[in-house]
Chains A and B, each alone.
Chain A
Amino acid sequence: AQKVTQAQTEISVVEKEDVTLDCVYETRDTTYYLFWYKQPPSGELVFLIRRNSFDEQNEISGRYSWNFQKSTSSFNFTITASQVVDSAVYFCALSDNAGNMLTFGGGTRLMVKP
């Protein structure tokens, strides 16, 4: 069975601080896919990144960066120089080998204060 754990339920930072959101996953598959989604107050889930299990290179996109470590089953997300607009709930998700089942973590609510 697949499982995604986001231990941080809520994080509060002041604008311009860096913040890392943790994600730990469990799966028996050797091939799988990891995702991060953002859910702003409006409610619509916004896709941020997709990573397959064979690609352990870290990725940077603007102020966002992702650290995938297969050895520790973690896929952490860092926002550099946070902004108020980054305030949202962030979900880490895992899909199986065939991509059939997307399992979400419980989410981390990030609050960025001015």
Chain B
Amino acid sequence: EAEVAQSPRYKITEKSQAVAFWCDPISGHATLYWYRQILGQGPELLVQFQDESVVDDSQLPKDRFSAERLKGVDSTLKIQPAELGDSAMYLCASGEGFSYEQYFGPGTRLTVT
């Protein structure tokens, strides 16, 4: 069964450092999403792609976060500089299109010290 791949699974970094997460969606899925999930809460959408284009990044803290999906396939989410409040699970999901169910990867758990 096809799955969404994410790496790394765990990342510990010091504040003010740069960190990057990678996501490879299910083959053929046009939409890709990055979510942040703080412990004990539901996921919150950070950015949404349709192919290589950003559809919605209204919740992305653009002063420190950036996301790209250059060839419309895999995607990278970057944080620079990381802050203590960025400690969370970062989830990637993909789907066949808008309004369809999203399939989630295992996530990257980020700890900022």
| Minimum CB–CB distance for B102 against chain A, Å | 7
- Chain A residue at minimum C-beta to C-beta distance from B56: A100
Judge whether B45 and A102 touch: CB under 8 Å.
yes
Judge whether A50 and B107 touch: CB under 8 Å.
no
User: Does B106 lie at the interface of the complex (its beta carbon under 8 Å from any beta carbon of A)?
Assistant: yes
User: Does B44 lie at the interface of the complex (its beta carbon under 8 Å from any beta carbon of A)?
Assistant: yes
Q: Which residues of A contact B (CB under 8 A)?
A: 4, 33, 35, 37, 42-47, 50, 52, 91, 93, 95, 98-107
27 pairs across A/B with beta carbons < 8 Å?
A42-B106, A43-B89, A43-B106, A44-B106, A44-B107, A45-B91, A45-B104, A47-B101, A47-B104, A50-B101, A52-B99, A91-B42, A93-B42, A98-B98, A99-B97, A99-B98, A100-B48, A100-B55, A101-B45, A102-B33, A102-B45, A102-B102, A103-B45, A104-B43, A104-B44, A106-B42, A107-B40
